[in-house]
Amino acid sequence: MIPFSVLDLSPIPQGATASDALRNSLDLAQHAEAWGFNRYWLAEHHNMPGIASAATAVVIGHIAAGTKTIRVGSGGIMLPNHSFPGRIDLGLGRAPGTDQPTARALRRDLQQAADTFPQDVQELINYFGPAEAQQKIRAIPGVGLGVPIWILGSSLFGAQLAALLGLPFAFASHFAPADMLDALKLYRAHFKPSPQLARPHAMLGINVIAADTDAEARRQFTSVQQSFTNLRRNAPTQIPPPIDDIDSYWTPQEKANASLTLTVSAVGSPEAVERTLRKFIEVTQPDELIATAHLHDHQARLHSFEILSQIHGRLAADQATAQLSAARTV
């Protein structure tokens, strides 16, 4: 069965603090490890009142120190914002991870930083490789570690680069579904094996909001829907509590925009989420899924991932049964 992983933006609920959010993230990571999730990624976003993972590298250390076996990494670190083995993944993105004024505060030349992204990725790969005799700049203590590097993307650009460099590719279908299928096709068709990866490995993002009932899941999902609406209004906030009537919150146009953005979502009871996931996996054939649940209620978020882990167990059991049946037939 394909691995399931967790993408955490360390949500700051309305009325809470970044410290609360980071404690919640560690709590979720420890539960995710116990539930058998494959990796736990954190994302770099700036000037977002509802996200506490801006200093991604620092939060990765916080999570890794509080867990034992689960892979921890960035989903991602926005490489143009920075001049810069074990179980740490380095997911790299080209976008600024924020609005344009904040991006200018982080780095001076927006266009040049994006244009040199492929060269910057290759340079970083070289820093983590074995040191060469005439190499003048060495990353101490990074040299020779061979940290696994991923390319993140929400368009065809990332798919092309990941294929060219022979790197694993994570697509942000949980908020940018439009190019998902084309990006997968391009990545798989043009993939060139590399020292890090012999064959394509594509991971897809999906919003998973699972609860005991469809109604409760839809209610929890309104926190996500409100957050996206606020972002589109250029008024991002801390994560709002769920509401009973989301249609009273947004206009018909805002509803249409949010619904399109959040197309790749599994929301509902365990049975409903399982049906959605089975269909999504059947259509996309991912090598891995990474789920996010950007909720106000931490206990609801924990429960959602617990349900997801149980669904993964059932899917894995079904696959094992099918493989055994096929072997007996042969």
Convert the pLDDT of each residue in 131-175 to its tens digit.
Answer: 777 777 776 666 777 778 899 999 999 999 999 999 999 999 999
Convert the pLDDT of each residue in 9-62 to its tens digit.
Answer: 999 999 999 999 999 999 999 999 999 999 999 988 778 899 998 888 889 989
Convert the pLDDT of each residue in 245-299 to its tens digit.
Answer: 999 999 999 999 999 999 999 999 999 999 999 999 999 999 999 999 999 999 9
The number of folded domains in the chain is 1
Handedness of CA 164, 170, 173, 176 (dihedral sign): negative
Number of other residues whose CB lies within 10 A of the CB of residue 136: 5
* DSSP assignment of 308-325: HHHHHHHHHHHHHHHHHH
Q: What pLDDT does 198 receive? A: 97
Q: Which residue would you say has higher pLDDT here, 88 or 190? A: 190
Q: What pLDDT does 132 receive? A: 78
Pairing of strands 202-210, 169-171: parallel
- How far apart, in whole angstroms, are the C-alpha atoms of residue 18 and residue 230? 19
- How far apart, in whole angstroms, are the C-alpha atoms of residue 160 and residue 87? 26
* DSSP assignment of 160-207: HHHHHHT--EEE-TTT--TTHHHHHHHHHHH----SS-SS--EEEEEE
Helix (H) or strand (E) holding 60: helix 56-65
The model's confidence at residue 305, banded by pLDDT at 50, 70 and 90, is very high
* Contact predicate 4/289, CB 8 Å: yes
CATH of the domain at 58: 3.20.20.30
Q: Share the mean pLDDT of the chain.
A: 88
Convert the pLDDT of each residue in 71-119 to its tens digit.
Answer: 998 876 655 544 444 666 777 766 554 455 544 544 545 555 556 778 8
Q: What's the whole-model pTM score?
A: 0.87
Q: Which domain holds residue 310?
A: 4-329
Q: Is the pLDDT of residue 185 over 70?
A: yes
Q: Which two structure tokens, joined as six digits, stand for 242?
A: 């769920």
